[in-house]
Amino acid sequence: MDINTREIAIKILTDINQNNAFSNIATNKHIPDGVASQDENFIREITYGVLENKIYIDYILSKLSKIKIKKIHPIIMEILRIGVYQILFMDRVPNSAAVNESVNLAKKYGHKGSIGFVNGVLRSLIRDKDNIIKIDDKDYECYLSIKYSHPIYMVKSITNDYGIEFTEEILKSNNERPNLNIRVNTLKTEKEVLMSKLTDYGFQVLEGNYGKNTLIIKNPSNITKVKEFNDGYFTIQDESSQLVSQIMNPNPNSFVLDVCSAPGGKATHMAQIMDNKGKILARDFYNHKIELINENSKRLGIDIIETEVYDAIKRDETLIEKVDYVLLDAPCSGLGLIRRKPEIRWNRKEEDIKELTNLQWNILNTVKNYVKNHGILVYSTCTILKEENINMINRFLELNKEFRLMPFGKELKTKENLNTINEGYIQLFPHIHGTDGFFIAKMIKEI
Ligand SMILES: C[S@@+](CC[C@H](N)C(=O)[O-])C[C@H]1O[C@@H](n2cnc3c(N)ncnc32)[C@H](O)[C@@H]1O
C-alpha cells in the first residue's frame, strides 16, 4: 500500500491537538487497514514521540523561529514538530529526508512563504544543533518541565509529593514506551495454554510480575485480530489494573458492587475470580460506556454481571449495608497513564484536580454506606498524586472509624517493591514496578 506516513502522523497529531482526541483512538482512526507493519511503527513512533516531547520541541522551535510559535498555522506547526522530532530523536532518518519530506508537506498544506519557512527553520536546527538543544532555564522544576515535556504545574505537584529526584525518575519513565499487558480469562483457558498459542502466532510473551494471570506482549501489533481474542480467552488490561480485583479477591457467590465500572476491566476480572458465581452490579454514569461492559462480559463468557446507568454520587437506599464487596475505581487525573496516553499531560488542566478530588470524596462517602459489616471497600485510581490517593484515604479513615485498612499480600504473585502491603495499600510507579501508576487501598468495615 502506497501511503505518506508523515502525512498520516500530521493528521493524527492535528486530531489530538486541535480536537482533544485520545491518542489510541486517533491513531486507529487514521492508520489505514492493511498498512505494512514497518510503516505503522514509523507513524506511531513519530506521533507518540512528538506528543511526549511537545514542550521540548516547541522550546527548540521558539529559539529557531522569528515568528512567535503561537502565531504559526497549526498544520505548519505539526509539520515542524515532526521535522524536529526526526532530526533530534530518530537517528535512522537522514536529516535530508526529514527536511525534504517536511518541505513537501508544507507545499501541500501551506503557501509559498511556509515552504521557505519550514525549510529555513529545520536547516538552522541542523546547522547549529549542539547549541540549540541546550535548555537554558536555571530553575530546576522549569528545566524538568521542558526536558521531559510535562506542564509545570504537574512537575510542581509531583515534586511536592515525592521530592525532585523521584519526580525526575517519574517524568523520565513517562516518556518510555510501555509493553501491552493482557489478562488471561481463566474461565475459558489456562495461562500456559494461551502463552503457547500466542507464541506459536509469533508474539513474544512474558509472564507479569505481580498479576497471577498477566501476560506481557512485547510485539502486540494485531493481537486483537487473533481468534483467541474474539473467543474471549483474554482481554487487554494493564497489570496494575489487574491487581485491583486480585486484591479485592471476592468470594464466589458473594454480592459485589462496582460503582464506576465501565468498560468493565475490573468487573469482568472479579467475575473470573468468583468463578462466574454470585452477583456483580456494575454501574456507570454513561449509557454508551455501559454497553462496553455488556460486550466485554459476553465475549468473556460471563453472566453474573448486571449493568445499570447510575450516578455514584446519588445515595441508593436499597443497597444500604447490603453489599459484601464495594469497588470504587474512581474517575481521576490519570497521571499514572501518561506513558500510555501522552496527551493526558496536555488535556488535563490544573483546575481539574480539585474538581476530581471533590468528586472522589463525595462518591467515597456515598458508597461507604453500602458495605455490610465485615464487608470490603476497595478504592483505586490510575494516578500518583497523594491528594487523590493516600491523603484522601487517611482523611476518610479519620472520619469513619468503622473502616480500617486491611493488610494483603497472598493475592499477589510477588511482594517485591511493595513495602506498604502490610499497611493495606499500594502505590505503583512505572519506573519501579514496570506498571502504570496506580493506587489501591483495601479497607474492611467492622462495627
Ligand atoms: C477509572 S474509570 C473506570 C474503569 C473501570 N473500573 C474498569 O476497570 O474498566 C472511571 C469511570 O467512572 C465513570 N464515572 C465518572 N463519574 C461517575 C459518576 N458520577 N457515577 C458513576 N460513574 C462515573 C466514568 O464514566 C468511567 O467509566
Q: CB-hemisphere CA count at 13 Å for 136? A: 7
Nearest to 330 by CA among 266, 374, 287, 279: 266
pLDDT at 138: 83
How far does residue 388's CA lie from ligand 1's centre (Å)? Answer: 15
Q: What is the C-alpha to C-alpha distance for residues 7 and 10, in angstroms, rounded to an integer?
A: 5
Annotated binding site for S-adenosyl-L-methionine: 260-266, 284, 311, 329
Annotated binding site: 260-266, 284, 311, 329
Report the atom number in ligand 1 closest to the C-alpha of 363.
19
β-strand partners of 236: 182
The CA distances from residue 420 to 1, 8, 17, 184, 388, in Å, are 52, 45, 39, 27, 17
Contact 282, 264 (CB under 8 A): yes
Report the atom number in ligand 1 closest to the C-alpha of 313.
19
Q: What is the DSSP letter of 274?
A: T
Contact 19, 12 (CB under 8 A): no
Out of 242, 266, 285, 382, mutate this one to test ligand 1's pocket (max ligand atoms within 8 Å of CB): namely: 285
- Contact residues of ligand 1, CB 6 A cut-off: 241, 259-266, 284-286, 289, 311-313, 329, 331
pLDDT at 111: 86
Question: Is 298 strand, coil or helix?
Answer: helix
Question: Is 111 strand, coil or helix?
Answer: coil
How far does residue 38's CA lie from ligand 1's centre (Å)? Answer: 36
Cβ neighbours of 268 (radius 10 Å): 29
How far does residue 267's CA lie from ligand 1's centre (Å)? Answer: 12
- The residue whose grid cell reads 512563504 is 113
Tell me the average confidence (pLDDT) per consecutive run of 10 residues in the chain, 447 residues long: 89 91 91 88 95 96 94 95 97 96 95 93 96 91 97 98 98 95 98 98 97 96 94 98 98 98 98 98 97 97 98 98 98 97 92 97 98 98 98 98 97 96 98 97 97
pLDDT at 222: 87
Nearest CA to ligand 1 atom 13: 260
pLDDT at 1: 64
Report the atom number in ligand 1 closest to the C-alpha of 359.
19
Give me the DSSP letters along 54-93: HHHHHHHHHHH-SS-GGGS-HHHHHHHHHHHHHHHH-TTS
Nearest to 352 by CA among 332, 366, 375: 332
Nearest to 185 by CA among 264, 282, 283: 264
- Dihedral pair phi/psi, residue 112, rounded to 5°: -55, -45
Q: What is the C-alpha to C-alpha distance for residues 293 and 267, in angstroms, rounded to an integer?
A: 8
Q: What is the C-alpha to C-alpha distance for residues 78 and 72, in angstroms, rounded to an integer?
A: 10
Q: CB-hemisphere CA count at 13 Å for 257? A: 26
Question: Is 216 strand, coil or helix?
Answer: strand
How far does residue 331's CA lie from ligand 1's centre (Å)? Answer: 5
pLDDT at 34: 84
Contact 117, 75 (CB under 8 A): no
Nearest CA to ligand 1 atom 7: 265
Q: Which three cell numbers stand for residue 141?
A: 522544576
Edge-to-edge strand ranges of the sheet holding 180-184: 205-207, 214-217, 180-184, 234-236
Give the number of residues written for the chain: 447
How far does residue 213's CA lie from ligand 1's centre (Å)? Answer: 24
Nearest CA to ligand 1 atom 11: 260
Nearest to 44 by CA among 340, 334, 335: 340
Q: What is the C-alpha to C-alpha distance for residues 82 and 7, in angstroms, rounded to an integer?
A: 10
Nearest to 397 by CA among 326, 333, 446: 446
Q: What ipTM was assigned to the predicted interfaces of this complex? A: 0.99
Contact 303, 267 (CB under 8 A): no
Q: Which three cell numbers stand for residue 65?
A: 523561529
Report the atom number in ligand 1 closest to the C-alpha of 263.
9
What amino acid occupies position 161? Answer: D
Out of 260, 287, 328, mutate this one to test ligand 1's pocket (max ligand atoms within 8 Å of CB): namely: 260
How far does residue 349's CA lie from ligand 1's centre (Å)? Answer: 19
Which are the catalytic amino acids?
Answer: 382
Contact 393, 425 (CB under 8 A): yes
Question: Is 212 strand, coil or helix?
Answer: coil
Out of 284, 309, 344, mutate this one to test ligand 1's pocket (max ligand atoms within 8 Å of CB): namely: 284
Q: What is the C-alpha to C-alpha distance for residues 215 and 425, in angstroms, rounded to an integer?
A: 23
How far does residue 382's CA lie from ligand 1's centre (Å)? Answer: 12
Q: What is the DSSP letter of 438?
A: E
Report the atom number in ligand 1 closest to the C-alpha of 381.
1
Q: What is the C-alpha to C-alpha distance for residues 63 and 316, in angstroms, rounded to an integer?
A: 57
Nearest CA to ligand 1 atom 10: 331
Report the atom number in ligand 1 closest to the C-alpha of 332.
1
